[in-house]
Amino acid sequence: MNAPIGVFDSGIGGLSALPALRAALPHEHLLYWADSAHAPYGEKGDDFVRLRSLAITEHLVKVHGIKALVVACNTATAATIAALRSTYPQLPIVGLEPALKPAAQLTRTGRVGVMATQGTVSSEKFQRLLQSLEGQADFVVQPCPGLALAIENSAHPATQVQANQVVHELLQRFSQAMGRFGTQPGEIDTLVLGCTHYVFVQDDLQRIVGADVRCLSTGEPVAQQTRRLLESAGTLRTSADGAAQTQLLTNGDLAGLQGTAQRWLHLGADHCALANAAV
């Protein structure tokens, strides 16, 4: 089945899941929607995020005929995944969940750091996940207001230098607020990146918290779950009938998306285009 897999996020963050999706699904067409005109979701209310998610999904289904959907945003997953599955019961939908469960299994000191947007950490879904792991680890949860937006701005050539400095300052501030990192008793030895945007600055963050601290994101589990759902539905594209395509759309600044695609995904500008402004 040649229909594309739809992927969306409030901006560029969800692009961090594309390498894992491409590796797990080498023959599939991927269509990414960056809702950059409304980024970041993590600092908006649930009702707003739900309306945006439903509008984007409706467009991807009706106009682009997607055969599956990846909600590549922790905030949108927490606020909207139930509504999306209720509205599109026949559409395989995969959401993101901060990697708290793997972190609880991997930690050796028993202390796990979690960096996420305010929208994610305040959501009922996240709080239920946290409660379900009570006693398995000591989770130090740190909301990171402004970080996703700063990373978004770092993709724009005009604001890149200044935004990179803001990103570094925020990473230092939030990591310091969480306490000591390391492998000694009482230190945080595992750090969950609870926002897809944060994956793009993982190298900088790793330098701050130390090389011995394990950083976890959700790209690979999401890719594997997407593959399982397609296999179950009988719609997995298992052989190449022409090259698999990756198209990136944005309703924000096209140059910013092109810069991100080149900088982090090594994709040329021809993979990027402006999205339908009416959505």
Catalytic residues: 73, 195
Count CB-CB contacts under 10 A for residue 234: 7
What does the alpha-carbon distance between residue 73 and residue 77 come to, in Å, rounded to a whole number?
Answer: 6
256 neighbors 250 (Cβ within 8 angstroms): yes
Extended beta strands in the chain, E state: 5-9, 30-34, 68-71, 93-95, 111-116, 138-143, 190-193, 214-216, 246-250, 272-274
Burial class (CB in 10 A: 0-12, 13-18, 19+), 206: middle
Q: Say what angle helices 160-178 and 202-209 make with each other, to 10 degrees.
A: 40
Nearest alpha carbon to residue 75 among 27, 13, 22: 13
Question: CA–CA separation, 50 vs 82, rounded Å?
Answer: 10
C-beta separation of 63 from 33 below 8 A: no
Sole residue written with tokens 């230092």:
172
Cα 13 to the center of its chain, rounded Å = 5
The single-letter DSSP state of residue 4 is P
Which residue is it, tokens 């040649």?
2
